[in-house]
Amino acid sequence: MRTLKVFESISVDGYFTDANDDMSFAHAAAPDPEFSAWVAQNASSGRELLFGRKTYEMMEAFWTSAAARERMAAVANGMNAAKKYVATKTLEPTWANSQRLEGDLLTAVRALKQGKGPPLVILGSGSLVATLGEAGLIDEYQFVVVPTALGSGRTLFSQGKKLRLAEQRAFGNGHVVLTYAC
């Protein structure tokens, strides 16, 4: 059975967006070569990706751009080459190696997990993460904790959830990566 993992940037007070749905706080840190190398290695790990519609549209617009290829070539290559699934009823995916999940979301994700292949990773997609987390379909959460307190915003959890710390790593730019198993 495949695992379903979440990769999400959050503030130190646990929000993935601020009160205005802005996520720019996650990309405001000073450059850190060690963190950049870790991100590039993570992006080229051969995983398949799962997105909600909004995140898919943002990711496609950025990672297919010349700016992405110039600033983060390894990550752009990994993102563009990866197999991608999109949870949407309205969008016909056009990004290379993308397909829409058909039918009921939970049934479709359960079928993906039971299939053969590499781990599935959800990038961003907070509403999708919340829905799949409540259904017990997420196996691991990997949070990049950004050293910013937002005070309010959107969280991934609408109910309590017990997690077990599996790994942690701190970077010079103040980011801390925490990996939790469910």
Domains of the chain and any CATH numbers: 4-181 (3.40.430.10)
- C-alpha span between 10 and 8 (Å, rounded): 6
What are the per-10-residue average pLDDT scores of the chain (182 residues)?
93 91 81 80 81 93 93 87 94 95 95 94 90 94 93 87 93 92 92
pTM confidence score = 0.89
- C-alpha span between 180 and 20 (Å, rounded): 27
Q: What pLDDT, on the 0 to 100 scale, is given for residue 33?
A: 84
Q: What pLDDT, on the 0 to 100 scale, is given for residue 44?
A: 67
CA–centroid distance for 75 within its chain: 13
Q: What pLDDT, on the 0 to 100 scale, is given for residue 108?
A: 96
